[in-house]
């Protein structure tokens, strides 16, 4: 069999209304819907080559050969692609990201969306956006949101067929920027896959999930109307609610560092003085400070003066996953 190769690029994304907990683990059907924005410039490039030569799949990430659970996860994902394409060839996967993995910058989102696109193309499949998003979801839930461009909503859906992400506004709709405040680039202790499995042990998860349609509507409308005040309030509330669930699960998960809280407080105080800024935090200690693009340099300069801040990266609104 001739080698079949494709390369894809996908951006990471930051969730404004968070996905936390699955109603079905294997299919990664989420407990609730979510909304995010793609992050331009925080990207993963992945090449996939299927050939009859290898005995098993191989994976390199940033030039390092990966074995164990990391390879197993990619292997399981490639099995889905092989099944869809009716092939049984092994794959060589080479992936490169330009941001740290496992530190709350949704590295798996960019990784599995790029892998979904590159692997299906290399296997000879031509999937539409919804099908690609559903497939990416199987690798990592948040990855389904990195397939479409701009501002994106992952529909909770009624089952496997309708739980995928769609664009609610293109990148140019609202010039927001994410100032990513790195307070630690250490790999987090509990990855999100294990974290999702604990969500249901928190007595607060039921209330968080039940209230999600309301938060989704407020956030969607705030984005569509470019209403920063309404947006800031709902984004911070949603992040606080997810972390309240994390901190009250069994065992509890504390992703924040003291410096994360310092950044959150500084953001609130600047907003009170009139600066359009708000914070949101994923499953890691780093803080995403959302602002308008015109203010991003000023906001980043201010954040760099805070204790324990090692780096601030600015990302604007990113486009969809694409073949390169």
Report, in Å, the least distance between residue 90 CB and ligand PMV. 26
DSSP state letters, 51-102: ESS-SS-EEEETTEEE-HHHHHHHHHHHHHHHHHHT---EEEEEEEESS-SS
Choices 46-54, 64-72, 137-145, 167-175; region in contact with ligand PMV by CB under 6 A: 137-145
Q: How many residues bind ligand PMV (CB under 6 A)?
A: 16
Kindly state whether residue 38 participates in binding ligand PMV, applying the rule CB under 6 A. Answer: no
Kindly state whether residue 108 participates in binding ligand PMV, applying the rule CB under 6 A. Answer: yes
Report, in Å, the least distance between residue 78 CB and ligand PMV. 18
Q: Which one, of 294, 303, 283, 275, lies nearest residue 179 by Cα?
A: 303
Tell whether the torsion through CA atoms of 16, 100, 200 and 136 is positive or negative.
Answer: positive
Kindly state whether residue 16 participates in binding ligand PMV, applying the rule CB under 6 A. Answer: no
Q: Which one, of 314, 310, 302, 309, lies nearest residue 270 by Cα?
A: 302
Q: Give the footprint of ligand PMV on residues 232-271 (CB under 6 A).
A: none
Kindly state whether residue 190 participates in binding ligand PMV, applying the rule CB under 6 A. Answer: no
Kindly state whether residue 18 participates in binding ligand PMV, applying the rule CB under 6 A. Answer: yes
The answer to whether the CB of 41 falls within 8 A of the CB of 315 is: yes
Choices 51-59, 127-135, 138-146, 227-235; region in contact with ligand PMV by CB under 6 A: 138-146
> Nearer to ligand PMV by C-beta: 193 or 262?
193
Q: Give the footprint of ligand PMV on residues 140-179 (CB under 6 A).
A: 140-142
Contact characters 193-232, ligand PMV, x per CB under 6 A:
x--x------------------------------------
Report, in Å, the least distance between residue 283 CB and ligand PMV. 4
Tell whether the torsion through CA atoms of 259, 283, 109 and 50 is positive or negative.
Answer: positive
Give the separation between CA 86 and CA 96, rounded to whole angstroms: 28
Q: What tokens does 233 get?
A: 């309030």
Give the separation between CA 190 and CA 12, rounded to whole angstroms: 20
Rounded CA Rg of the chain? 19
Kindly state whether residue 34 participates in binding ligand PMV, applying the rule CB under 6 A. Answer: yes
């Amino acid at each position: 069999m001739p080698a079949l190769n494709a390369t894809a690029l996908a951006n990471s994304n930051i969730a404004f209304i968070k996905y936390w907990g699955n109603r079905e683990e294997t299919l990664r059907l989420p407990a609730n819907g979510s909304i995010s924005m793609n992050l331009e410039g925080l990207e993963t490039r992945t090449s996939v080559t299927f050939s009859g030569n290898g005995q098993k799949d191989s994976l390199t990430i940033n030039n390092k050969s990966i074995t164990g659970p990391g390879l197993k996860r990619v292997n399981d994902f490639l099995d889905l692609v092989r099944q869809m394409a009716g092939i049984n060839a092994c794959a060589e996967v080479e992936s490169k990201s330009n941001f740290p993995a496992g530190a709350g910058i949704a590295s798996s989102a960019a990784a599995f969306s790029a892998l979904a696109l590159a692997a299906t193309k290399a296997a000879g499949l031509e999937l539409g956006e919804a099908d690609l998003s559903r497939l990416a979801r199987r690798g990592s839930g948040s990855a389904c949101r990195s397939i479409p461009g701009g501002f994106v909503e992952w529909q909770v859906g009624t089952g496997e067929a309708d739980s995928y992400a769609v664009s609610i506004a293109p990148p140019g709709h609202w010039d927001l920027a994410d100032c990513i405040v790195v307070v630690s680039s250490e790999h987090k202790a509990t990855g999100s896959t294990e974290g999702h499995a604990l969500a249901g042990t928190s007595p607060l998860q039921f209330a968080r999930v039940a209230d999600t349609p309301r938060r989704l509507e407020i956030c969607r409308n705030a984005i569509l109307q470019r209403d920063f005040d309404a947006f800031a309030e709902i984004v911070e509330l949603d992040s606080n609610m997810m972390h309240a669930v994390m901190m009250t699960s069994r065992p509890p998960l504390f992703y924040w560092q003291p410096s994360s809280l310092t950044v959150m407080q500084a953001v609130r105080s600047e907003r009170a003085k009139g600066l359009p800024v708000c914070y949101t935090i994923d499953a890691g200690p780093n803080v995403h400070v959302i602002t308008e693009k015109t203010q991003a340099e000023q906001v980043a300069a201010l954040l760099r003066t805070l204790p324990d801040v090692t780096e601030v990266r600015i990302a604007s609104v990113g486009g969809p996953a694409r073949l390169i």
